[in-house]
Amino acid sequence: MERGDTPQDRYHLVGISFFILGLGTLLPWNFFITAIPYFQGRLAVANSTNGTLGTNHSGPADAFNFNNWVTLLSQLPLLLFTLLNSFLYQCIPETVRILGSLLVILLLFALTAALVRVDMSPRPFFSITMASVWFINSFCAVLQGSLFGQLGTMPSTYSTLFLSGQGLAGIFAALAMVMSMASGVDAQTSALGYFITPCVGVLVSIVCYLSLPHLEFARYHLAKKSSLAQGRELETKAELLPSDEKNGIPNSPQKAALILDLDPEKEPQPEPEEPQKPGKPLVFTVLRKIWLVALCLVLVFTVTLSVFPAITAMVTSSAGPGKWSQFFNPICCFLLFNIMDWLGRSLTSYFLWPDQDSRLLPLLVCLRILFIPLFMLCHVPEKSRLPVLFRQDAYFITFMLLFAVSNGYLVSLTMCLAPRQVLPHEKEVAGALMTFFLSLGLSCGASLSFLFKALL
């Protein structure tokens, strides 16, 4: 009966909307890191707006450590708001969080696009850009968490569509970079067109979100979220009311009704309810079961963010000046990484190897540490401490292929294995913990990138 009453997603409009919203949540991060050569060009020459999109600049730009700072200030907000989510989401309505975040991101990206044509010395430009990176990614963290909350009441296929949109954001940004460079216009116009692209993407995301309440399928599933939230609020209020504990009978009729509704046969036995009241014992219980895959997730992202893009964006082609040198970094670093990372994440749809009981998983994760010296020994110009052992472009491309595929596969694998190691009622806690460790790994990697940059 319930299945027959469930409305259908006509023309897959809800699925398309969540796919675009997933794309919009990671567009800011990807558009900033893909445009690192442009920012380095602006920072390398005082009072110049002629920084090009496709040329690496070393020397003066290195004084700002732009690659490192943009990575760190992009990931710290994610860690911070992961910790503050439970407080923030109780104080601010969901619609305000989502629409407000999208509007702020749109305004800040419009500011970034406007600065392309503003004459500004490097230091103020660096400060404004870093402030924009921090605030954009702060609101992106709020936006992502809020949308994941909405997806909780939708069928699982919509979560997959949302994640697919996120996975394609990097590819979209890299393609936008390549097309803007190949357009043949001057550097300023090319950069302006590049930064207007995410503004359009965020604007489309706003339209998609505003359309959801007008789609019957979305209204049906989001209404379940509202009713569930009201039920939890009633339960919380009922538990706060005083009760008569002498005979085990609550003196509040609301609380009595709730207990009877949950399980009338087990009413006299308080033991099953006891472990779920305190949060810490349950968290530590789940953590003991998933600590190995959580640690693997942290190490995967720590290795990845410690060199990408801080080190990999500095690698240049050994072929010398020319078209290939101009397109080398956008294609071989950013586009190749995002395509292979997306492919690696997709592989877990077909098989999960090694499984949660195998010791090969931590071994494979630890082997990825080898990518750090491999990239540091590639063709990075003006290195003062390390030699160039892998001068040819083929070495860098091979390393990037393996680096990106292993990152995508191991991240997806650990996220899939964690829920399999806990009981059904513990899966929500396991998911929250894995999200925290994901943020922790990103922040640790971004912090380590300063050390590895200094060792070059």
pLDDT of residue 388: 93
What ranges do the domains of the chain cover? 10-224, 278-456
Q: Tell me the longest C-alpha to C-alpha distance in the chain.
A: 86
Answer whether 10-224 and 278-456 agree in fold. yes
pLDDT of residue 81: 83
Residue 73 Cα to chain centre, angstroms? 13
pLDDT of residue 378: 95
pLDDT of residue 264: 43
The CATH architecture that domain 278-456 belongs to is Up-down Bundle (1.20)
pLDDT digits (tens, 9 = 90+) for 44-56: 754 444 455 655 4
Output the six-digit token pair for 274: 């006891």
CA 242 – CA 256 distance, rounded (Å):
12
DSSP letter string over 72-118? HHHHHHHHHHHHHHHHHHHHS-HHHHHHHHHHHHHHHHHHHHHGGGS
CA 221 – CA 108 distance, rounded (Å):
32
pLDDT of residue 11: 86
CA 61 – CA 122 distance, rounded (Å):
9
CATH superfamily label, 10-224:
MFS general substrate transporter like domains (1.20.1250.20)
pLDDT of residue 231: 47
Token pair 């954001």 is found at 169
pLDDT of residue 181: 86
pLDDT, one tens digit for every residue, the chain (456 residues) = 445 567 888 888 999 999 999 999 888 889 998 888 888 888 875 444 445 565 544 443 456 888 899 999 999 988 888 777 767 777 888 889 999 999 999 999 999 999 999 988 999 999 999 999 999 999 998 898 888 878 877 887 888 788 888 888 999 999 999 998 888 788 788 888 899 999 999 999 999 999 999 988 988 887 865 555 554 444 444 444 444 443 444 444 443 333 334 444 444 555 544 444 444 447 888 899 999 999 999 999 999 999 999 999 999 999 878 889 889 999 999 999 999 999 998 888 888 888 877 789 999 999 999 999 999 999 998 787 899 999 999 999 999 999 999 999 999 899 888 888 888 878 778 888 888 898 899 999 999 999 999 998
| Nearest partner of 170 among 304, 308, 27, judged by Cα | 27
DSSP letter string over 128-174? HHHHHHHHHHHHHHHHHHHHHHHHTTS-HHHHHHHHHHHHHHHHHHH
pLDDT of residue 323: 85
